[in-house]
Amino acid sequence: MKKIFILGSTGSIGTNTLDVIRNYPDRFKVETLTVNSNIELLEKQIKEFNPSLVVVRNEKSAEQLKRSLGNSIEVLSGDKGLIEATRRNNYDILVSALVGFAGLAPTIEGIKLSKRIALANKETLVVAGELITALCKECNSELVPVDSEHSAIFQCLVGEKSPEVKKLILTASGGPFLHHSSESLKNVSVAEALNHPNWKMGSKVTIDSASMMNKGLEVIEAQWLFGIEKEKIEVVVHPQSIVHSMVEFIDGSIKAQMGLPDMRLPIQYALSYPERLCGYLPQTKLPEIRDLSFFEPDYKKFECLKLAYQAIECGGTAPCILNAANEIAVGKFLEGSIRFLQIPEIIKKALNAIENHRGPDINTIFDCDRQTREFASKLS
């Protein structure tokens, strides 16, 4: 029986994780749940899964929840509560499913306790890949990816030897704007950008998918997760999202992992690895899907993807700047204060303006993140 800590239990990954746990009550037990402010859904989750501890980041919502629950369960609050909870040694697997940079600090606490990290928060590796992978090694903590692409690669690598890997091939759906012209991207609406053809995800990730920044962040993540140079990571557009990603080996053989687009599969694998659990998920029938297609990505149209490769090239805090500027820009786009193509513009300005620090320690990364956010917030 594995005890599970979910960072971000009311988000898309969080609720899907709880659905997996619901189906394997003999294998997994919810120990801790954390939310930002959605205490209405959290109360339902508490009733069903009976955790021993919950954290509500928003202080007001935390107070409200305490009043509602009385003394039946321990409630912590704020970023301090989040850190305190992750430091308790009462869980086996930390599902790191906060959105954005906020996931970094609590994930580090899980690593320090040598826990398995089921990593859905890609920013952890994007902004602090070098530090995090070194810390994992030092603390003997295991990072198992939850992203469908990285889970696919992780699965394709089972039983294979890393020196025999020639290339990682990340598939990208291409998002809602795959067939739009560069020109028509200028005036797309928030609703259009949120209308992902295959995946139901949170709004930040969905916008990143539309701009293909999501794939850029995944390239950076893959670099650290699998210890491989960026030259060996390729992106291929695959609109059906059935092939979740591939590995090419030195002998020319390619292995792919496939399935219907359903986050519960990689989540379940991250919890059960190295075992596979008998599935309750819908079956993938290739003759019903019929066609799988593959294209080169259009780096000119999807400038964010190009910027991500450039950030890896620059190294140091460049990926942190890229990520922070993107988070701010996506927020602005979602609230309607900038247009879609201003997202890469803001990122470019930040990459040019903010100083790049080589081999940053964790404080430098936090400083860089804050500084970039301040800078990007002022742009429009």
Residue 170 backbone phi and psi in degrees, to 5: -85, 130
Residue 217 vs 256, nearer CB to a second copy: 256
CA dist 222 and 153 (Å) reads 9
Residue 134 vs 254, nearer CB to a second copy: 254
Spell out the long-range contacts of 40-49 with Cβ–Cβ below 8 A and sequence spacing 24 or more: 41/10, 41/15, 42/9, 42/10, 43/68, 43/69, 45/9, 45/10, 45/18, 46/73, 48/18, 48/22, 49/18, 49/21
294 binds a second copy (CB under 8 A): yes
286 binds a second copy (CB under 8 A): yes
Q: One symbol per residue from 160 to 199: x for binding a second copy (CB under 8 A), - otherwise; what is it?
A: xx--x----x------------------------------
User: Quick one: which of 79, 182, 227, 250 contacts a second copy (CB under 8 A)?
Assistant: 250
Nearest to 321 by CA among 284, 346, 286: 346
155 binds a second copy (CB under 8 A): yes
Residue 260 vs 379, nearer CB to a second copy: 260
Size of the site for a second copy (CB under 8 A): 48
Measure the CA angle with vertex 145, ends 318 and 108; round to 5°: 60
Nearest to 21 by CA among 100, 91, 106: 91
Q: One symbol per residue from 83 to 122: x for binding a second copy (CB under 8 A), - otherwise; what is it?
A: ----------------------------------------
292 binds a second copy (CB under 8 A): yes
Find out whether 248 and 159 touch, Cβ atoms under 8 Å. Answer: no
How many other C-beta atoms are found inside a 10 Å radius of the C-beta of residue 21?
A: 22
Q: How far is the CB of 214 from a second copy (least distance, A)?
A: 19
283 binds a second copy (CB under 8 A): yes
Which residues would be at the binding site for a second copy (CB under 8 A)? 155-156, 158-161, 164, 169, 236-237, 243, 246, 248-260, 265, 268-269, 272, 275-279, 281-284, 286-287, 289-296
